Structure formats: C-alpha cells, structure tokens
C-alpha cells in the first residue's frame, strides 16, 4: 500500500470516530526508536474535524531541569560568571498550524495555551531574578535550544485534505531527547479553542545503543573503567600497526 493510500485509510478511520463539534487525531507511530546510526525521524499526524476551523499541533518533550551559564571576559579569558537554573523546561518544542498563528487567534489565547515559541512560558523563581533579568535568561535558553534544533520558531504545516481531514509531518532531529512526549492538537474556531486532544509519543533508545546507554548510567564507575581499557587497547593496537608499517 502506498503512503498516500495508507494516509487516506488512516484519516478515513479517524473521520468515522470524530465527535460532534470536535476533532479526533492520531499518530502513524507512537514510538520513535533510536538505534545506532539514528539520523532523525518523521512521524505522521492525521485526523479529522466535524466542522471547519484551524488546526494547531504542539509537540512538547519531557520536562527537565536546565542550568544556563553566562560568560564574561576576565583578563582576556572567557569564564562563567553567572548561572541560572530553570526547572521543568520542555526538552523539545515544535508547532504546526494551518495558518500563521496571529491569523488564527489573539495573543491572549495563544499565551493561555502556550502556542508558539514566543508564548512558551518558562518560569524562574521570583527570588532569583527580576522580571527584566528573567526575560533575558529565558530568551538565552530559547536561543540555545534553537541552535540545538530542539526548539523551533518556525511554524510547520497542517494541511487539510478536503473539508474535514488533515495531516501534518512531525520531525524529530538526531539529537532528540528520550522520554514521553505530548502531542497536543487544538481545533480553533473564531479565535477560540473549540476542542483539544493530547496523544502521547515515546522516544526511546533500543538495541545495542540502549544497552550501552543504560549500562553507562546504571554502572557509571565500571563503564568508565571499561572505556579507559578500550582506549588503551585501541592505542596499543594502533602503535603496533604503525610500527609494522
């Protein structure tokens, strides 16, 4: 079955389950498997709506604590002079929509639902930083995540196939963090959220890479010893090979 034919089978099934005045959505795969040589993955999101409206998709990665450092030049050397800890920050963030967000809803609606990178709320304890300082740190964090391709300021495409069926491709880069992701789909009509649905997605290491990963985390001391021994053996073998050459 071709990809197009499969898509129509999936969205037709979704359309048969759609609730009045609502939507239904699903993913072509609920597991992104990271194996050796993983170079990123693309997952198809598909669904249907009962009545016309705009569809917005927000993908959030598992939350984590992030420490940001500020560097300053002291005596001709760049050193860390300040640090800030962000708690429960999404490790991944991406948005797709049928139209530009400012044409779909007002900023207050987007902010309330944290739709769009500029509306993503990343809080800092008030005792740690004033609002102006916190704003600078938040902007720095978002820029850092964008450089790592983990946050996207660009809005992806949600495409309607007819009046009710829609699809969108969600891309995950090679360095995507593992964990449970939340794929939130909003149906926005007349500038207000008419319906919403959340679907989980698992990103996990499997195979040999997963075994090495878990061994390194659960037996860090032993893993360090093994890594050193392997490096010594590799160096010794290289020395022998060059001597023979």
Give the tens place of pLDDT for each residue, 57-81: 999 999 998 888 877 777 677 776 6
Residues 150, 124 share a domain: yes
Quickly state the pLDDT bin for 127 (edges 50, 70, 90). Answer: low
pLDDT exceeds 90 at position 173: yes
Confidence at 46, pLDDT banded by 50, 70, 90:
very high
Q: Report how many helices (DSSP H) and strands (DSSP E) the chain contains, helices first.
A: 6, 12
Radius of gyration of the chain (CA): 23
Q: Which domain holds residue 53?
A: 3-205
CA pair distance 81, 72, nearest whole angstrom: 6
pTM of the model as a whole: 0.75
pLDDT tens for 24-34 read 999 999 999 98
Give Cα separations from 126 to 25, 113, 119 (angstroms): 38, 22, 19
Do 126 and 146 lie in one domain? The reply is yes
- For the chain, how many structural domains are there in total? 2
**Do both 187 and 221 map to the same domain?**
no
Query: Which residues are paired to 71 by β-bridges?
Result: 80
- The pLDDT tens digits of the residues spanning 85-125 come to 888 899 999 999 999 999 999 999 999 999 999 999 887 76
Same structural domain for residues 109 and 122? yes
* Domain CATH number, residue 73: 2.60.40.1930
What's the mean pLDDT in 190-197?
94
Same domain for 107 and 185, yes or no, is yes
Q: Could you tell me if 108 and 217 lie in one domain? A: no
Q: What confidence tier does 44 reach under pLDDT thresholds 50, 70, 90?
A: very high
Say if CB 172 and CB 32 are below 8 A apart.
Answer: yes
> Does the pLDDT at position 19 exceed 60?
no
Q: Domain check: are 75 and 144 in the same one?
A: yes
Check residue 27 and give its pLDDT. Answer: 94
What is the rounded distance in angstroms from the CA atom of residue 245 to the CA atom of residue 242? 5
- 103 to each of 53, 100, 109, 188, how far by Cα in Å? 12, 5, 12, 11
pLDDT at 7 over 70: no
Secondary structure (DSSP) of 102-162: HHHS-HHHHHHTT-SGGG------TTT--HHHHHHHHHHHHHHHHHTTSEEEEEEE-EEET
């Amino acid at each position: 079955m071709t990809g197009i034919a499969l898509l129509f089978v999936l969205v037709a099934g979704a359309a048969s389950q759609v609730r009045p005045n609502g939507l239904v959505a699903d993913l072509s795969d609920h597991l992104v498997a990271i194996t050796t040589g993983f170079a990123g993955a693309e997952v198809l999101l598909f669904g249907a709506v009962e009545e016309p409206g705009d569809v917005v998709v927000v993908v959030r990665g598992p939350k984590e604590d992030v420490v940001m450092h500020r560097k300053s030049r002291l005596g001709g050397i760049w050193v860390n002079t300040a640090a800030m800890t962000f708690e429960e920050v999404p490790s991944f963030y991406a948005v797709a929509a049928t139209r530009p967000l400012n044409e779909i809803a007002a900023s207050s609606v987007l902010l309330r639902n944290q739709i769009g990178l500029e509306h993503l709320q990343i809080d800092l304890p008030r005792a740690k930083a004033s609002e102006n300082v916190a704003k600078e740190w938040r902007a720095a964090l978002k820029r850092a995540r964008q450089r790592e391709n983990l946050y996207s300021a660009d809005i992806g495409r949600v495409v309607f196939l007819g009046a009710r069926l829609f699809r969108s491709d969600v891309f995950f880069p090679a360095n995507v963090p593992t964990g449970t992701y939340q794929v939130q789909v909003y149906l926005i009509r007349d500038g207000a959220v008419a319906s919403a649905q959340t679907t989980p997605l698992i990103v996990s290491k499997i195979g040999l890479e997963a075994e090495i990963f878990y061994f390194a985390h659960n037996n860090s001391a032993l893993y360090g010893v093994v890594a050193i021994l392997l490096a010594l053996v590799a160096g010794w073998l290289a020395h022998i090979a060059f001597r023979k050459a």
